[in-house]
Amino acid sequence: MVSQPKPAIIEKSPFYELSKKYSIDVAYKPFIRVVGVSLKEFRAQRVEILDHTAVIFTSRTTVDSFFHICEEARITVPETMKYICQTEAVALYLQKYIVYRKRKIFFADGSFTSLIELIIKHKEEKMMLALSEPHKPELPETLAKLKLAVDPVILARTVAADLEEINLGDYDLLALYSPSDVKALIEKFGTENLPAIAVFGEGTLRAALDAGLTVKANAPTPIAPSMAKAIDIYITKLRKGETIEPVLLTVDTVKEEFIRNQQHKLSKKPRIRKTTK
């Protein structure tokens, strides 16, 4: 079972290829749903949209909530507002609300380091970071370490979906995509007698291990950049009768070194050239 909505075109899903390759059934069931915050909840955070010159978006849900809040509060977002997005897909989603070609829209390649580098390029802006609750603390904590002018604001909240009709005994593996998926699973089914667990993302892995779950597959990794590839490797080992060791959490030294380098660059004072009269 995959804790994601069923793809609109099932044949284009990487899990469809897995189902054909191994003759397995793949079910789709979101464990969570995301809802935008109310105007009252937004105002309680004491963040003024028009005090900012750029907005950072990491998901389409926060894009929806941002413009809904603006509409409800009768805020006209100036055309000079910059939009910094984690992926091109999020950037293109802005077309639902604005004329894309007339606005200043920038997007990263989906990776954490690419997004940080993009934000640093616009460090002179007064930025608002649109977040869902709960969220991975990594991004706001890193921006705070870099001492950038960024105000985090919660624009959406994650709540558990209705899981009443799920019988976990029907499944051999669960693919979880967020810490909220882990929380919803445990609150409904506990931690005993669960199918094998596969997770996507460091935050999801950390949440699963902290909850006492045994994780058998994870992504992204150098050998498994996607969840489908991680499950492919897992099934291959399983059918060969190989021992599958539980996944452990390791420190991403490359990411830590990247953050240290960015801190060092930002701490350097720009040289002032002497002018001759």
CB burial readout 16-28, b (16+ within 10 A) else e: eebeeeeeeebee
Q: What is the pLDDT of residue 46?
A: 93
Q: pLDDT averaged over the chain?
A: 89
3-state secondary structure of 244: coil
Report how far apart, in Å, the C-alpha atoms of 110 and of each of 11, 57, 115, 117, 207 are. 24, 11, 7, 12, 22
Q: What is the pLDDT of residue 252?
A: 65
Q: What does the pLDDT look like over 188-232, one tens digit per residue?
A: 999 999 999 999 988 899 999 999 999 999 998 889 989 999 999
Q: What is the pLDDT of residue 269?
A: 60
**Stretch 98-127: mean pLDDT, rounded?**
88
- State how beta strands 127-133 and 150-160 pair: parallel
pLDDT over 90, % of the chain: 60
In this structure, how many other beta carbons lie within 10 angstroms of the beta carbon of residue 263?
A: 13
Q: What does the pLDDT look like over 156-188, one tens digit per residue?
A: 998 888 888 899 999 999 999 988 899 999 999
For residues 221 and 250, which has the higher predicted lDDT (pLDDT)? 221
134 prior amide bond cis, ω within 30: yes
* pTM for the whole structure: 0.69
CA dist., res. 105 & res. 167, Å (int): 44
3-state secondary structure of 260: helix
Q: What is the pLDDT of residue 107?
A: 93
What is the token pair recorded at 207?
A: 């949440």
CA dist., res. 164 & res. 200, Å (int): 24
For residues 7 and 250, which has the higher predicted lDDT (pLDDT)? 7
In this structure, how many other beta carbons lie within 10 angstroms of the beta carbon of residue 47?
A: 16
Who's near 143: CB < 8 A, 6+ residues apart?
116, 119, 129, 150
Q: Identify the band that residue 253 occupies on the pLDDT scale cut at 50, 70 and 90.
A: low
φ/ψ of residue 67, rounded to 5: -75, -25
Q: What is the pLDDT of residue 170?
A: 94
Residue type, 247: V
Is pLDDT at 80 greater than 80 in this prediction? yes
Inter-residue contact 153 to 133 (CB < 8 Å): no
Q: What is the DSSP string of 123-184?
A: TTS-EEEEEEES--THHHHHHHHTT--EEEEEEEEEEE---TT--GGG-SEEEE-SHHHHHH
Residue type, 87: T
Residue with tokens 């900012």: 52
Q: Is 237 exposed, middle or buried (0-12, 13-18, 19+ CB in 10 A)?
A: middle
